[in-house]
Amino acid sequence: MFLTIRDLAKSFGDNEVLKSINVDLDKGEVLSIIGPSGSGKTTLLRCFNGLETPDKGIITFEDGLKLNFQEKIKKQEIDRLRRKSGMVFQSYNLFPHKTVVENVIEGPIIVQKERKASAIERAEELLAKVGLKEKRDFYPHQLSGGQQQRVGIARALALKPELMLFDEPTSALDPELIGEVLTVMKDLAKEKWTMIMVTHEIQFAGEISDQILFMDGGYIVEQGSPQEVLKAPKEERTKQFLQRILNPA
């Protein structure tokens, strides 16, 4: 098993945001996390790469990295956790004063100490992959939202992560721009990148995911294959959520 999560919990003050979360993910699988706002989806995603520190629980990777959050976690362990993943945010988070190619090479050069020439070569390959090679010398303000998000994906891929994390990557986009980002993500799924995404794009999640988690109130209410969770949900709360999302009045 590539990634195992056991009994993960997280509170902010008196607000218990995650309650005894358990997840198993194989290498090359796509896991989608769905649920209403405030259900804990983004907090769970941020726990996977150390942007949030759980209060308790265990995260284990197949290479032997094991973090038990009821014990004192060493900085080196958090650093190892962070190096495993590339994160794509809702709001792009590009450096506005840097060009597209400069944004993509920033991580490999600063974090991984890669030589600039090889970082640029890989950046150009990744920009071609997301359909933006001709925009390499543009600045973020010269790009559409969809183009900026595709740069964000290229930037995350440049770190050569084992795990790609997507936090509602289309939520800030105009409807007509969503498709170009989803196409890139679909291509990554076909290439067997291991991916976890928080999304409201239920139909898309059903198309590319191996597993779906439905969260509400900090719990995993239901989990299984897209067929199980989206087509034949067992839990009443899942049925209510899908009815509202897929068949709005």
Full DSSP string of the chain: --EEEEEEEEEETTEEEEEEEEEEE-TT-EEEEE--TTSSHHHHHHHTTTSS--SEEEEEETTS-EEETTSPPPHHHHHHHHHTEEEE-TT----TTS-HHHHHHHHHHHTS---HHHHHHHHHHHHHHTT-GGGTT--GGGS-HHHHHHHHHHHHHTT--SEEEEESTTTTS-HHHHHHHHHHHHHHHHTT-EEEEE-S-HHHHHHH-SEEEEEETTEEEEEE-HIIIIIS--SHHHHHHHHHHHS--
The rounded distance, in Å, linking the Cα atoms of 156 and 230 is 29
> At CA 228, angle to CA 28 and CA 1, rounded to 5?
30
The rounded distance, in Å, linking the Cα atoms of 115 and 110 is 10
The maximal CA–CA distance of the chain, rounded, in angstroms, is: 55
Instruction: Supply 81's token pair.
Output: 């956790």
The rounded distance, in Å, linking the Cα atoms of 197 and 205 is 9
The type of residue at 138 is F
Could you give the angle at which helices 116-129 and 100-110 cross, rounded to 10 degrees? 130
Phi-psi region of 168 (alpha: psi -120 to 50; beta: other; left: phi over 0): left
Spatial contact of 206 and 193, defined as CB atoms under 8 Å apart:
no
Reading the chain (249 residues) residue by residue, the pLDDT tens digits are: 999 999 999 999 999 999 999 999 999 999 999 999 999 999 999 999 989 999 999 999 999 999 999 998 888 999 889 889 999 998 888 999 999 999 999 999 998 889 999 999 999 999 999 999 999 999 999 999 999 999 999 999 999 999 999 999 998 888 888 999 999 999 999 999 999 999 999 999 999 999 999 999 999 999 999 999 999 999 999 999 999 888 776
> At CA 51, angle to CA 50 and CA 57, rounded to 5?
45
Task: Please report, for the chain, the start and end positions of each structural domain, with discontinuous segments joined by +.
Answer: 95-161
